[in-house]
Amino acid sequence: MLRFFLLNSDQEYSTKEAAKRNMLKIADAKREIRDLKKIKFITEKTKKRKKFYCLNTDFILQPELKSLVAKSNTYPQCDVLKKIKSVGNVKLAIVSGIFLDYPKSKADMILAVDNVNRRKLKNLISSIEAELGKEIKYVLMSSEELKYRVNMMDRFILDFTKGPHNKIVNKIKLKGFKI
């Protein structure tokens, strides 16, 4: 929860929303929120008789905690990414954005997967988002689509690979293109 509120400091969440986004039971989320509210880490706001919680930006340790959390989210510390190969025949998986603390990236992850198991992918993405405490932006395509986009010199792919990125899986060899 600490990580969740630090990385979503500009948002307000109900207990139910926070529990869902962190893959917690409502009772556990209520306890966490109560404890964070007690130390004044989060503040409570009431709108239309409904309670919402957000980060107290005046919390004395907020800058240090935010920096610490940002460092723990970077690849390779994010353990859930190791399960990426379980979603199908993964040909390419590269990360940037939130995983490398690079906010200028238009996406956090590019996946080229053949025979993708969409249920496993959805569960994996949900696990990553719960671990990171933030929604991730990812692009999913087949290896054929990736090859086509590279051959067409797709601007998105070129910009993504020119910026800071890390390869998790790279089984694709493209003539004249280095990932």
The CATH number assigned to the domain holding 56 equals 1.10.10.10
Residue where one domain finishes, among candidates 10, 44, 72: 72
Q: Which residue has the higher pLDDT, 82 or 169?
A: 169
How many structural domains compose the chain? 2
Looking at the fold, whether 12 and 66 belong to one and the same domain comes out as yes
- With a cut of 80, say whether residue 52 has pLDDT above it: yes
- Tell me the mean pLDDT in the region 60-89: 78
pLDDT at 76: 58
Q: Which pTM does this prediction carry? A: 0.70
pLDDT at 108: 93
pLDDT at 44: 95
pLDDT at 176: 63
All residues at 6 or more sequence positions from 23 whose CB lies less than 8 Å from its CB, including other chains: 126, 127, 130
- Tell me the mean pLDDT in the region 5-27: 90
84 found inside a domain: yes
- Kindly report, residue by residue over 79-127, the tens digit of the pLDDT: 677 788 889 999 999 999 888 878 899 999 999 999 999 999 999 998 8
What is the residue range of 130's domain?
79-170
CB 168 within 8 A of CB 94: yes
